[in-house]
């Protein structure tokens, strides 16, 4: 069969090499003169079998090389270039097989024609034809759409996403928000209006403007969105929550980029005691040999039993009125340093050294939590982490110290997971986007946050809780969380990090490319496709900084706490206030 007799399909680009081993899983093709193959191109070839239908072998280009054939020494390149030595330039491409139909795993024969896969061939080569619900990820190197199987995202056959890359360059959170937008607006999720997303913003206020259009979007970018079947618009339904200003008793949120659609979140002292939240004030990674954690749980249990709530969220304990977190710290210090009451509060077998270890950590948490755990807000208002019907809730943490961030994340996730476990209504999706996952669920040690994240990773998808975790270094994240992520995404990597075994799913050429990847380019691995796909996602249609923000649509100019959310994370002592 000559090149011109190739069956209908993409253009012929070469033939299978005869001087390199061809296997059922990888082979090399010589690129014909006048053609080219680049990394990530999709190609297809056929193998004729006696007495059987032809076998179609499709794959992705994972390496390309060029060399002078006929040259022997390095210096021969000059002679060839000057026309003094006969030699030919030949390019060849390595193909990693993605699909074989029918499943007869035989190698392609040397000399077999290789052609570029287009349209239906490309769709079959990348298993897009097997995806009943396709989520648009962006475009490949060929400019054609690349999809993700929603079954492996929404918990049907898998769930959770792990996004890794260098901070500030890999665009991890940009990709996470783009993925949510594609799920919510792309039509693959039939009940998208019931799905919710909880985003923790830990780096600046860039994520607080998701409902504002990006003024930098031009017509060319809108066409890119249209080609992917999506409108170039901001998120439609967004609620923003921020911590209250320190020292302010009116409940004003500590945020500067917007003055509408934002409310403060905090916990009253009665919330803190009744819900046993004290362990989350010690949410840094623990050494399992430390004994002070016994005191933490002993004190938390005592507060749960004995704290009596007042109408404004304060508590009475042992006859004392406690209104702020500072009051609570002072109260516990007095009880634990008094020999008459120490054993009642710390436990019978607890040593003074263990008590002191607890108190040191308790006192150090005072500065971090005093504006989050309080009952001195003059105006009674909803203050839960979720409290609206908004599809996306952004929780701003960037103004909080590390210990306070851990407290907020730990308590919010635990309440969310508990609410999902206790829900009796239909299963709706709840996405959780958490950056700096290696800080909250490190590989070594234990903490309350790590335990709840492990619960979400291992059981969350059955409850409809999907974790989208982002981190600079996947090698420093708890293995079981990464292992339970069906979808793994890699942006630009540090060269040392790319050599870690956590990235073994990337072919060698992709590992090398990840060190050079530009912002907006991601390597996406999903279960049914043997080779990670390189994706470029569009420029955000929503503002990512104040300078880009246009006026939000009228529907977005509303309070973040207008109506009731079915999955309340924090309770309020006033039954008349919706939360």
Question: HEC string of 337-396?
Answer: HCHHHHHHHHCCCCCHHHHHHHHHHHHHCHHHHCCCEECCCCCCCCCCCCCCCCCEEEEE
In terms of C-beta density within 10 A (0-12 exposed, 13-18 middle, 19 or more buried), how is residue 462 classed? exposed
d(CA 579, CA 569) in angstroms, rounded, equals: 9
Residue of 243, 282, 238, 283 lying closest to 261 (CA atoms): 238
31 contacts: CB under 8 Å, gap ≥ 6:
13, 14, 37, 90, 91, 92, 93
In DSSP terms, 23 is beta-bridged to: none
Are the C-beta atoms of residues 281 and 369 closer than 8 Å to each other?
A: yes
User: What is the DSSP-derived secondary structure letter of residue 374?
Assistant: B
Residue of 97, 173, 184 lying closest to 136 (CA atoms): 184
Prediction pTM value: 0.88
Structure-block tokens of residue 347: 């436990």
Q: What pLDDT score was predicted for residue 565?
A: 36
Question: CA neighbours within 13 Å on the CB side: how many for 359?
Answer: 18
Structure-block tokens of residue 475: 């090698």
Residue of 369, 367, 376 lying closest to 278 (CA atoms): 369
Are the C-beta atoms of residues 261 and 559 closer than 8 Å to each other?
A: yes
d(CA 342, CA 354) in angstroms, rounded, equals: 12
404 contacts: CB under 8 Å, gap ≥ 6:
243, 368, 369, 372, 397
Indicate the fold that domain 134-265+378-556 takes in CATH: Rossmann fold (3.40.50)
3-state secondary structure of 435: coil
Tokens 């994520």 sit on residue: 207
Q: What pLDDT score was predicted for residue 235?
A: 96
Distance of CA 209 to the CA centre of its chain: 19
d(CA 468, CA 472) in angstroms, rounded, equals: 14
Residue of 253, 227, 223, 229 lying closest to 240 (CA atoms): 253
Structure-block tokens of residue 66: 């060029």
Are the C-beta atoms of residues 534 and 551 closer than 8 Å to each other?
A: no
d(CA 325, CA 233) in angstroms, rounded, equals: 42
Phi, psi torsion values for 95, nearest 5 degrees: -115, 125
In terms of C-beta density within 10 A (0-12 exposed, 13-18 middle, 19 or more buried), how is residue 543 classed? buried
In DSSP terms, 47 is beta-bridged to: 55
Residue of 314, 311, 249, 275 lying closest to 574 (CA atoms): 311
CA distances from 48 to 18, 53, 109, 116 (A): 17, 7, 9, 19
In DSSP terms, 16 is beta-bridged to: 29
Q: Indicate the domain borders of the chain.
A: 3-125, 134-265+378-556, 269-369
3-state secondary structure of 3: helix
User: What is the DSSP-derived secondary structure letter of residue 115?
Assistant: E
Instruction: Cite the DSSP H helix spans in 92-229.
Output: 119-125, 172-185, 219-227
Are the C-beta atoms of residues 122 and 9 closer than 8 Å to each other?
A: no
N- to C-terminal Cα distance for the chain?
A: 71
- Angle, helices 339-346 vs 292-306, to 10°: value is 90
The stretches in the chain having pLDDT less than 50 are 1-8, 287-289, 556-579
Tokens 């052609």 sit on residue: 115
Phi-psi region of 165 (alpha: psi -120 to 50; beta: other; left: phi over 0): left
d(CA 31, CA 12) in angstroms, rounded, equals: 9
3-state secondary structure of 279: helix
Phi, psi torsion values for 113, nearest 5 degrees: -70, 135
Q: What torsion do the CA atoms of 228, 229, 234, 239 make, to the nearest 10 degrees?
A: -110
Residue of 333, 348, 365, 338 lying closest to 294 (CA atoms): 348
d(CA 569, CA 37) in angstroms, rounded, equals: 53
Structure-block tokens of residue 497: 């990090």
Q: What pLDDT score was predicted for residue 552?
A: 72
d(CA 294, CA 349) in angstroms, rounded, equals: 10
């Amino acid at each position: 069969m000559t090149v011109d007799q190739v069956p209908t399909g993409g253009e012929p680009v070469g033939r299978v090499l005869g001087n390199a081993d061809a296997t059922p899983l990888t082979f090399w093709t010589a690129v014909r003169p006048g053609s080219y193959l680049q990394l990530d191109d999709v190609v297809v070839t056929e193998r004729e079998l006696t007495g059987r239908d032809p076998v179609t072998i499709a794959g992705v280009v994972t390496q390309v090389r060029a060399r002078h054939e006929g040259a022997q020494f390095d210096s021969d390149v000059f002679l060839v270039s000057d026309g003094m030595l006969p030699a030919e330039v030949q390019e060849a491409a390595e193909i990693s097989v993605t699909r074989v139909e029918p499943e007869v795993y035989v190698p392609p024969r040397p000399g077999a024609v290789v052609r570029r896969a287009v349209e239906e061939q490309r769709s079959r080569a990348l298993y897009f034809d097997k995806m009943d619900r396709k989520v648009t990820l962006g475009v490949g190197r060929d400019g054609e759409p690349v999809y993700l199987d929603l079954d492996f995202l929404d918990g049907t056959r898998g769930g959770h996403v792990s996004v890794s890359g260098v901070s500030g360059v890999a665009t991890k959170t940009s990709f996470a928000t783009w993925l949510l937008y594609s799920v919510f607006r792309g039509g693959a999720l039939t009940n998208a209006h019931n799905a919710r997303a909880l985003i923790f913003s830990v780096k600046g206020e860039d994520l607080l403007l998701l409902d504002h259009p990006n003024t930098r979007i031009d017509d060319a970018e809108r066409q890119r969105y249209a080609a992917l079947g999506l409108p170039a618009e901001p998120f439609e339904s967004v609620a923003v929550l921020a911590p209250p200003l320190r020292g302010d008793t009116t409940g004003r949120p500590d945020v500067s980029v917007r003055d509408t659609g934002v409310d403060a979140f905090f916990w009253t002292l009665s919330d803190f005691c009744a819900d046993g939240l004290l362990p989350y004030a010690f949410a840094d990674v623990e050494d399992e040999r430390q004994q002070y954690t016994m005191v933490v749980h002993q004190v938390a249990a005592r507060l749960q039993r004995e704290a009596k709530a007042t109408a404004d969220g304060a508590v009475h304990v042992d006859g004392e009125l406690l209104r702020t977190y500072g009051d609570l710290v002072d109260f516990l210090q007095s009880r634990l340093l008094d020999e008459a009451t120490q054993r009642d509060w710390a436990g019978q077998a607890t040593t003074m050294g263990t008590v002191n270890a607890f108190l040191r950590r308790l006192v150090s948490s005072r500065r971090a939590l005093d504006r989050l755990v309080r009952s001195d807000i003059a105006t009674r208002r909803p203050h839960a982490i979720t409290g609206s019907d908004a599809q996306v809730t952004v929780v701003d943490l960037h103004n909080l110290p590390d210990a306070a961030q851990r407290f907020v994340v730990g308590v919010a996730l635990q309440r969310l997971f508990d609410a999902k476990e206790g829900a009796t209504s239909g299963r709706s999706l709840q996405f959780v986007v958490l950056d700096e996952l290696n800080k909250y669920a490190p590989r070594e040690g234990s903490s309350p946050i790590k335990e709840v994240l492990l619960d979400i990773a291992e059981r969350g998808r059955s409850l409809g809780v999907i974790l989208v975790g982002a981190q600079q270094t996947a090698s420093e994240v708890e293995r079981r969380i990464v292992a339970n992520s069906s979808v793994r995404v890699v942006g630009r990597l540090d060269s040392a990090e790319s050599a870690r075994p956590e990235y073994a799913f990337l072919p060698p050429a992709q590992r090398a490319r990840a060190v050079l990847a530009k912002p907006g380019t991601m390597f996406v691995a999903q279960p049914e496709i043997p080779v990670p796909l390189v994706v470029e996602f569009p420029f955000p249609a929503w503002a990512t900084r104040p300078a880009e923000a246009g006026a939000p649509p009228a529907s977005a100019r509303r309070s973040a706490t207008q109506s009731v959310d079915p999955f309340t994370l924090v309770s309020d002592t006033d039954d008349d206030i919706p939360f």
